[in-house]
Chain A
Amino acid sequence: MTGTRGSAPAPEAARILNVCLWCLVAVVVEIGLFASYRGHDARFHWLTHFFVGSSAALLVMAAVAVRTRRPVPAPLVWALVGHLFAMIPDVAFTAGAAHRPWMDIFAGHVSSHFVPGRNLTWYLVFLVCLGAYLAAVDRLRSPGRG
């Protein structure tokens, strides 16, 4: 099995607790972001940017996992960072700056809303990217790797 280094790894309980703590932080921040979108119709936007940003993060995570031959630490934090990157124009909008086409540099912030199938499409893309990352992690267990 890959991913353990040194002769004195942290106890399993402490490891799980630490990972869960970071997961909890990411979940709490996501709930806060959800609440920050004013209006019931804004949930559509939250979901779009979550799916797109975290999908991009998952692809990066898969590449890092393959490269380093171990799962990435605090995976939900990576997804959160991807989401935050994708929603930067919405923060600017709240501050009084309307959207512009160039804001697509933030994970397709503008045009991602208009793909056929809308959020259902991005949901499926997200599941594929999540599967890709999990498959990359699963392969780390194969004999002869790491």
Chain B
Amino acid sequence: MGPALKTCAVPSRRSLVAVWLASAVLLGGLLVLAALARGPLDDPDPARQRPGLLDLGSLPSPAPRVSAEVPAPGRAALVLFERVDRLAGLCEALGHHRFAGSAVVVVVVVVVPGPGDRCAPGIAVVGDPSGALAAQFGLDRPRDGGVPVGYARVDGRGDIRYRTLDPSVAAQLDEIDTILRAAK
């Protein structure tokens, strides 16, 4: 740093007040912008969306039955929740992604609020027209009040270790790798 930074004069009181007011307006504006940017599929409580932390709140808790393979002793599972009109995009992303981050075998299942459909090879699609499964997993309702879009991580003991809404899940599958590794 130059000598000027070692010899700081005391600003006038008016300048100090201006700094405080400018900071309040600028950062308050950022708060408002961040709130406006939230989408209809986001969690009403942003702190609960993509927290990155296992066993948050009431977790771990037993996972409900999703399919014959989930939950199953010794087999971890990733349960993705998606809407019917977005399923193709998620399946395409899953088809190009290899969940290589986990040392355990992971069963991947996609739950949609409609009839079961085809997805990427090796990935089952389970129909859940009423959205009851998402509720049993404890996923929050998104801001638009519809069925959740997100995912849950079930460990080999059949416990839910992580759950979150994530409207951008198809674009952030590598983030799931981190969660899978953490919940061995």
| B7 touching A2, Cβ below 8 Å | no
CB contact between A141 and one of B10, B51, B167 (< 8 Å): that residue = B10
| B31 touching A127, Cβ below 8 Å | no
| B172 touching A38, Cβ below 8 Å | yes
CB-defined contacts of A141 to chain B, threshold 8 Å: 10, 13
Least CB distance from A58 to B in Å reads: 10
| B5 touching A2, Cβ below 8 Å | no
Complex A-B: 10 CB contacts under 8 Å: A6-B7, A10-B7, A14-B2, A42-B50, A43-B30, A47-B31, A93-B52, A98-B52, A98-B53, A113-B51
Q: On chain A, which size bracket covers the interface?
A: 35 or more
New contact pairs (16) apart from A41-B49, A96-B177, A134-B17, CB-CB < 8 Å: A1-B9, A18-B2, A19-B4, A19-B5, A19-B8, A22-B1, A38-B172, A40-B38, A41-B167, A43-B37, A51-B27, A98-B52, A99-B53, A113-B47, A113-B51, A127-B24
Chain A-chain B contacts (Cβ-Cβ < 8 Å), number: 131
CB-defined contacts of A140 to chain B, threshold 8 Å: 10
On A, residues with C-beta under 8 Å from B are 1-6, 9-10, 14-15, 18-19, 22, 38-44, 47, 51, 70-74, 89, 93, 96-101, 110, 113-114, 118-120, 123, 126-127, 130-131, 134, 137-138, 140-141
Interface residue? B3 (CB, 8 A) = yes
| B54 touching A98, Cβ below 8 Å | yes
Q: Is the interface of A mostly helix, strand, loop or mixed?
A: helix
CB-defined contacts of B101 to chain A, threshold 8 Å: 96
In the complex the two chains form, what is the Cα distance from A3 to B5 in whole Å?
10
| B47 touching A93, Cβ below 8 Å | no
On B, residues with C-beta under 8 Å from A are 1-11, 13, 16-17, 19-20, 23-24, 27-28, 30-31, 33-34, 37-39, 42-43, 45-47, 49-54, 101, 167-168, 172, 177-179, 181-182
CB-defined contacts of A9 to chain B, threshold 8 Å: 7
The 8 A-B residue pairs with the shortest CB-CB distance in the complex, in nearest-first order: A98-B182, A73-B5, A15-B4, A44-B46, A18-B4, A113-B47, A99-B53, A43-B34
Supposing A39-B168, A126-B27 touch, asked if A100 and B53 sit within 8 A by C-beta, the answer is yes
Least CB distance from A136 to B in Å reads: 10
Least CB distance from B14 to A in Å reads: 11
Nearest CB in chain B to that of A145: its residue = B10
In the complex the two chains form, what is the Cα distance from A98 to B52 in whole Å?
6
In the complex the two chains form, what is the Cα distance from A137 to B7 in whole Å?
14
